[in-house]
Structure 1
Amino acid sequence: MDKPYVMGIAGSSGSGKTFFLKSFLDHFDQDQVTLISQDDYYFPANTKTQEENRLYNFDIPSSIDRESFFNDIKSLFEGNTIYKKEYTFNNPSIKPKTLEIKPAPILIVEGLFIFHYEEINQLLNYRIFLDADEEIALTRRLKRDLVERGYDHDDVMYKWINHVVPSYNTYLLPYKNTCDRIVVNNTDDPVLINSATNVISQELKEKLQFN
């Protein structure tokens, strides 16, 4: 198959990437777009103790199996389907699903380090940066990690101060002004995100001559 049109989507923790992606994908048929996420390429951390996991920094480039991530993207370019076990963020109450990632004319690559990884950044045709004020992003992160991932409050705050913010400032923020579109998401009003994804998807359909 021809090389897909590759969109890179990245943003700070708590910037609303999950909702943005869901809204964007809803504008296309399943055979028109596919998504590959950096989060599913974390090196396994289930051999570590709880205290080691607290100290272990998941927010640095070396925490990701960068080579496998890149190779799977290239494999999608070649028309191959990827089977990958989803990453459940060390939550023992969640049984990981096997993801089936099929090639499609539009490939979305999502993750914190996709602009920092030069070999992946070079594959991108269009870059989107999702942004939110730090206070708002932290509130969202607390809600997600305490409720959905079962972390305790002290653990979330430790990682935010020592891992999340320094990583964002080092590995993502420097690329903000190189992106094609910056979406500021400081409200939880879905109209803002739906409006942005509607505009972007319509532009993309016209570019790729989708019906």
Structure 2
Amino acid sequence: MQRPLVIGVAGGSGSGKTTVSRAILDRVGSERIAFLQHDSYYYDLSHLSFEERRKVNFDHPDAFDNDLFLTHLDALIHNQTIASPMYDFAHYVRLPAVTKIEPRPVILLEGILIFADVALRKRMDIKLFVDAESDKRFIRRLRRDVRDRKRNVDSVIEQYLKTVRPMHLEFVEPSKRYADIIIPRGGLNAIAIDMVVARIEWMMTERGQR
């Protein structure tokens, strides 16, 4: 069986990664894509008090269980079904439930720090970096965390100033140099997304996966 095409979508928090990923899923076809989100692989912090959990730097590479992420990625590459963890971002713990992800011709990875890991980069055939201005990224993150992750405004702002911005400058922004394609203006760059989708379709045709 042909090895799946592995695509990585990276970029700062709130840059539009999920918008780009959803566009790829819609255009290429979700039935042909296994979608694996790095955010689901934060370490479970249930052994810590809630106050201790809040002090953890979730924007540092060490916050992620990359061993499990790599194990699951390799399983998908070798045509095996995985049980991806689900994360509770309000309480910083893994949920008992899991998400079943079946192998597909395309594996789509998404996360702020997936280019910062050498082993992950080596498994990617296409690396996309979604770029956006810092103020727009912050506003999107604020809205998302308050609406979807049930956080309060003050805690989101505090985290942004203490860890999100410094870690972006230290780890995320430098990882841009590993990208094959940089998508400016976030997920609203229709022309760039058209080009990316066309490239994916061409590569799948060349590999006999269409």
TM-score, normalised by the number of residues in structure 2:
0.88
The answer to whether the Cα contact below 8 Å between 1:10 and 1:111 also exists between their aligned partners in 2 is: yes
Match of 2:198 in 1: 202
Task: Show structure 1 runs of 4+ deviating over 4 A.
Answer: none
Instruction: Give the residue type in structure 1 aligned to 2:137.
Output: A
Instruction: State the 1:194 CA deviation.
Output: 4.1
Structure 1 residue 97 displacement after superposition? 5.0
- The Cα of 1:150 is off from its aligned counterpart by 1.4
Q: Deviations over 1:173-201 (max 9, x none)?
A: 11213311111226xxx7x3444323211
Q: Deviations over 1:10-54 (max 9, x none)?
A: 010110112211111001233321111111111112343332232
- Tell me, which stretches of 5 or more residues in structure 2 are unaligned? none
Is 2:50–2:91's contact at 8 Å kept on the other side of the alignment?
Answer: no
Cα pair 1:128 1:180 within 8 Å, conserved: yes
Is 1:72 the counterpart of 2:64? The answer is no
**Residue in 1 that maps onto 2:2:** 2
Assess, with a 3 A threshold, how the Cα gap between structure 1 residues 80 and 181 changes in structure 2: closer, same or farther: same
Work out the CA distance in 2 between the residues paired with 1:25 and 1:5. Answer: 14
Structure 1 unmatched runs, 5+: none
Partner Cα distance (1:195, 1:46) in 2 = 44
Say if 2:123 is the partner of 1:127: no
> 1:199 is matched by which residue type in structure 2?
M
Q: Which moved more, 1:194-203 or 1:164-173?
A: 194-203
Q: Residue in 1 aligned with 2:48? A: 48
Aligned counterparts of 1:201 and 1:182: Cα–Cα separation in 2: 14
Conservation of the 8 A alpha-carbon contact between 2:114 and 2:120: yes
1:140 maps to 140
Name 2:116's counterpart in structure 1.
116
Read off the aligned partner of 2:125 and give its amino acid letter: N
- What amino acid sits opposite 1:107 in the alignment? I
- Paired AA for residue 199 in structure 2: E
- Contact persistence 2:128–2:183 (CA under 8 A): yes
Describe the superposition over 1:77-128 as per-residue Cα deviations: whole angstroms up to 9, x where unpaired: 1110111232231359xx7753121111111111122111111111111110
Identical positions, percent? 28
- Of stretches 172-181 and 45-54 in structure 1, the one that deviates more from structure 2 is 45-54
Residues in 2 aligned to 1:8 and 1:130: alpha-carbon distance in whole angstroms: 11
**Count of aligned positions:** 205
Larger mean CA deviation between 97-106 and 5-14 belongs to: 97-106
Q: Which amino acid in the other structure matches residue 5 of structure 1?
A: L
* Alpha-carbon distance in 2 for matches of 1:207, 1:66: 27
CA distance in 2, matches of 1:150, 1:96: 19
Q: Which has the higher helix share?
A: 2
Q: What RMSD in Å do the two structures reach over aligned CA positions?
A: 2.0
How do residues 1-20 of structure 1 correspond to structure 2 at under 5 angstroms?
Answer: 1-20=1-20
Question: Equivalents in 2 of 1:185, 1:11: separation in Å?
Answer: 11
Q: Check if 1:107 corresponds to 2:103.
A: no
For 1:60 and 1:118, how far apart are their aligned partners in 2?
15
TM-score, normalised to structure 1, is: 0.88
Q: Which amino acid aligns with 1:136?
A: K
> Is residue 45–residue 90 contact of structure 1 (8 Å, CA) maintained in 2?
no
